[in-house]
Structure 1
Amino acid sequence: MEFVSTRGNVGKIGFIDAFMMGLGNDGGLLVPHEIPVVSAETLQKWQELDYQELVLAIFSLYTNGEIPEQDLKELVYASYSTFRDPAVTPVRKLKDDLYLLELFHGPTFAFKDIALQFMGQLYTYVAAKQNKKIHILGATSGDTGASAIEGVKGKDGIKICILHPHGKVSKVQELQMTTIQDDNVLNLSVDGNFDDCQRMIKDLFADLDFKAANQLAAINSINFVRIMAQTVYYFYAYFQVAKQTGAKRVSFSVPTGNFGDIFAGYLAKRMGLPVGKLILATNENNILERFVLDGLYKPGDFRMTYSPSMDIQVASNFERYLYYVLGENAEQTRTLMEQFKSAGEITISGEALANVQADLSAYGVQGQECLNTIKQYEAATGYLLDPHSACGVAAADKCSSEGEITVSLATAHPAKFNEAIELCGIEQQFPEQISALFEKPQRQTRVDGSLQSIVRELEAFYNGK
């Protein structure tokens, strides 16, 4: 397996080099040169694997043997040793045709743990093997930051800086990031929204001199390893539902803002998983819904919602998907992304749009509908959804095909978003780990939304000043 850039100007590189490069040096995103396709016989064998065994089977298709088998096994088992459910990502039945894939049993109670606990282990492994310092830089709309920090806090050879939009994450998300006291962690609370934070991250990675001088490494889903790790639970969920129901094909409803989680589902389908529909669930920041419906990709007015981790207008992984929609045409992808940078919008039509609509359904869940879904399912089933998971369930109810089973992704524990739960008139019991956060001191630095301010803080942090 070799990796190339969606913009065509990064030669075929290996797995570790792709992991460490993060964002392609040409500004594009790294993708497999060829997506591995799994046979029906292999799928049948994989159905009997536990979660960690399945991770190893899928990762082996991408790692090129660059990590010795025993080392990879140790990394994987260490990554999932802290998860509270032995299944790692258990599947629950909500009703006859709707299942819930619980992705929040990791240390920070969010789906990001599934990829980022492994990435933390892998960065630590590379730092030790190559005797190098690694400076991780990322932006978060709430969950990525806490998961990434949890994966590398206190680790030798690694420093991590996370940008989050000031006042635009939930209180629990903020506390999970800012109560960490390890000296290798810096939290920057940035005036602006997540798109501003993400744009500055991409600008810094695109500055190849700055990237090299400061040994930057990516933790956001611009790093393909994030996608690779998330692909696993689509296979795992399918196998669990197929065993329970005998279903030959399963659809997935995915709450998404940055397009990474649903792209992982798309990758799984391209690898041979029998996926029916991929339902893209958004909120009022519904640029992706508009793209699926009419081919226009254009940011609108930013809105704060009850599902803040999805309050994103410019989706990092959109370029990966566009590359495949355009038939892996790197030149055309590069042209359209340059057009987006200059004109602020992209339009596709004809065969390309038909391809999108064959791959995806989409539904934007409005605020009150999100809250109503939480109340409805809690009353009917006793199951409490967080607002992001509620968007996924609402979209599944709206878009699922009759007679086909849909698995909706539960991306976070409701305790992380009690602001929305309280509006539903529901009192929930916090897990002990989350309750304890409110007693801990916080440590963060507030900065204005300028790139110069970010650079100043980063250089001081990385150089130990």
Structure 2
Amino acid sequence: MQYISTRGGGDPKTYSEALLEGLAVDGGLLVPEQLPTVDAATLESWRDLGYADLATEVLGLFATDIPRDDLAALCAAAYSPDTFAAPVPLTPIGGGITLVGLSEGPTLAFKDMAMQFLGQALEYALECTGGVLNIVGATSGDTGSAAEHALRGKERISVFMLSPQGRMSAFQRAQMYSLQDANVHNIAVEGVFDDCQNLVKDLAGDLDFKRAQHLGAVNSINLARITAQVVYYFWAWLRATDSLAPAEREGFEVSFAVPSGNFGNILSGFFARGMGLPIRRLVLAANENNVLDEFFRTGVYRPRSAAQTLATSSPSMDISKASNLERFIFELVGREPQRVVAAWDQLTLAGAFDFAADLPRFADEFGIVSGTSTHDDRLSTIRAVYEQSGTVIDPHTADGVKVAREFLEDGVPMLVLETAKPEKFGETITEALGIELPLSDELKALLAAPQRVTEIPNDESALRTIIETSALH
């Protein structure tokens, strides 16, 4: 299996090369030359596998350059019981909706599911090459802590994680800024997530600087993140169909609702559907920063400026420029790189591009529908779910549940991907339910721990100076 750029430049890469490369050399994103496929018999043969073994099978279709025994060891280390409290439980919450529990990892967020594998795989690839890697990433909340907890203390890796000043919850800041590991560098940027993401892309686009400083990526521009997230779509389908008779399982469709910001999580579902997993609908749930919802309803993609990007009570979705949309556009235009380049040129010139003529294909061919959720929607959804099932959900998951309800179909289970534990957003839970969630002694200590962070303006030269001073070589 080889990987190519959405913009057509550079040579094809192996999985390990794509893992270390991050952003493609031409500024595009790496995608498989063709998606692997999974037939019904193979899917059924995976039914009794544990999560780590299933990850080995699914990722083995992508990471064909990694020996199978080595890949199995990486997956076993990533998804060990010591790291994840439960193997992705499915929890019905009433009204035909089931939560897919992705927040059982060390940072209580779904990002752990891919990041723990990425940490193992990066270390493996660097040991094979004898190299080092300086990760430069951007986070709107959960990516940063998941990456730092997966990579902390690793000798061949340093992490420079950019976050927007004042735009994350106190819990999210504590999970990141309290880490004292020498290889972890937290950098708070004056601006919004999109400013952080732009800085990361600007540095990755400077090939001389990228190579001199050994830069890599852990954001979902890194293809390994996307492929690792594909696994839990397969897991969720297998668990959702466990109670069916064998004759009923083949081709049985479910829908997934996905709280979406950077389009990475739902893109993994798009890949899973393309591989043959019976997914009827992929329901994209946006918050008030609903650029993606506007695109999938109108065909017009018009990112907003930093000043127009709202600070909301689902802060991990406060994103107006979705990097992974480029991978979807690549498929939409028939995998023709020149059309991708033309779209992004138009975006640069006019601030938008228009695929309204293709709008019917979004749902009919690709299965993607969308909707928007607001702060009031989040509060009412959190209350309704709690009253109906006794389950407390976080505000991002609430966005997913709210929009999922708009696309329920008889006979089609609706699975909502849980985003994070509600404890990470205590103020919103208190506002919705009038209660304070109890915190363990460990979490209380986390919130009280001293924090270490460097604040900088939205300035590329300031970031370059920090990296040049502290990067591994």
Structure 1 CA distance, aligned partners of 2:89 and 2:243? 13
Structure 1 CA distance, aligned partners of 2:37 and 2:91? 28
Structure 2 CA distance, aligned partners of 1:168 and 1:216? 26
Map residues 259-338 of structure 1 onto 2, 5 A cutoff: 259-300=263-304, 301-338=308-345
Q: Secondary structure at the match of 1:280?
A: strand
Residue 401 of structure 1: CA displacement? 2.0
Contact map agreement 2:132 2:472 (CA 8 A) in 1: no
Residue 431 of structure 1: CA displacement? 3.9
**Percent of pairs with identical residues:** 39
Partner residue in 2 for 1:11 = 11
Equivalent of 1:371 in 375, 379, 384 = 379
Residue 432 of structure 1: CA displacement? 4.1
Residues 366-388 of structure 1, C-alpha deviation per residue, up to 9 Å, x if partnerless?
11011110011111211000000
Residue 433 of structure 1: CA displacement? 3.4
Structure 2 CA distance, aligned partners of 1:357 and 1:19? 31
Contact map agreement 1:251 1:277 (CA 8 A) in 2: yes
Unaligned ranges ≥5, structure 2: none
Partner residue in 2 for 1:348 = 355
1:451 paired with 2:464, answer no
Equivalent of 1:396 in 389, 392, 404 = 404
Partner residue in 2 for 1:436 = 445
Structure 1 CA distance, aligned partners of 2:349 and 2:20? 29
Structure 2 CA distance, aligned partners of 1:202 and 1:360? 27
Q: Following superposition, which runs of at least 4 residues in structure 1 exceed 4 angstroms of deviation?
A: none
Partner residue in 2 for 1:182 = 181
Q: Secondary structure at the match of 1:173?
A: helix
- Amino acid of the structure 1 residue aligned with 2:57: A
Structure 1 CA distance, aligned partners of 2:263 and 2:472? 34
Contact map agreement 2:96 2:408 (CA 8 A) in 1: no
Structure 2 CA distance, aligned partners of 1:436 and 1:104? 20
Residue 354 of structure 1: CA displacement? 1.8
Aligned pairs, how many?
A: 461
Residue 463 of structure 1: CA displacement? 6.1
Partner residue in 1 for 2:20 = 20
- Amino acid of the structure 2 residue aligned with 1:198: Q
Q: Secondary structure at the match of 2:162?
A: strand
Q: Secondary structure at the match of 1:48?
A: coil
Partner residue in 2 for 1:157 = 156
Residues 299-337 of structure 1, C-alpha deviation per residue, up to 9 Å, x if partnerless?
232111110000000001000011111111111011101
Contact map agreement 2:93 2:388 (CA 8 A) in 1: no
Contact map agreement 2:54 2:231 (CA 8 A) in 1: yes
Structure 2 CA distance, aligned partners of 1:444 and 1:60? 38
Q: Secondary structure at the match of 1:114?
A: helix
Structure 1 CA distance, aligned partners of 2:17 and 2:47? 31
Residue 450 of structure 1: CA displacement? 1.1
Residue 96 of structure 1: CA displacement? 5.6
Partner residue in 2 for 1:77 = 76
Structure 2 CA distance, aligned partners of 1:342 and 1:401? 41
Contact map agreement 1:280 1:289 (CA 8 A) in 2: yes
Structure 1 CA distance, aligned partners of 2:408 and 2:273? 17
Residues 109-149 of structure 1, C-alpha deviation per residue, up to 9 Å, x if partnerless?
00000111111111111222211111111000010100101
- Amino acid of the structure 2 residue aligned with 1:353: L
Structure 2 CA distance, aligned partners of 1:114 and 1:225? 12
Cα RMSD of the aligned pairs, angstroms, is 1.3
Equivalent of 2:256 in 240, 252, 267 = 252
Equivalent of 1:339 in 346, 365, 373 = 346
Residue 403 of structure 1: CA displacement? 3.0
Map residues 29-68 of structure 1 onto 2, 5 A cutoff: 29-64=29-64, 66-68=65-67
Contact map agreement 1:293 1:357 (CA 8 A) in 2: no
Q: TM-score, normalised by structure 1?
A: 0.97
Structure 1 CA distance, aligned partners of 2:126 and 2:472? 17
1:357 paired with 2:363, answer yes
Residue 12 of structure 1: CA displacement? 1.9
1:238 paired with 2:242, answer no
Structure 2 CA distance, aligned partners of 1:418 and 1:223? 31
Partner residue in 2 for 1:105 = 104
1:229 paired with 2:235, answer no
Structure 1 CA distance, aligned partners of 2:16 and 2:331? 23
Partner residue in 1 for 2:414 = 406
Q: TM-score, normalised by structure 2?
A: 0.95
Residue 288 of structure 1: CA displacement? 0.5
Please say which of residues 4-13 and 234-243 is displaced more in the overlay: 4-13
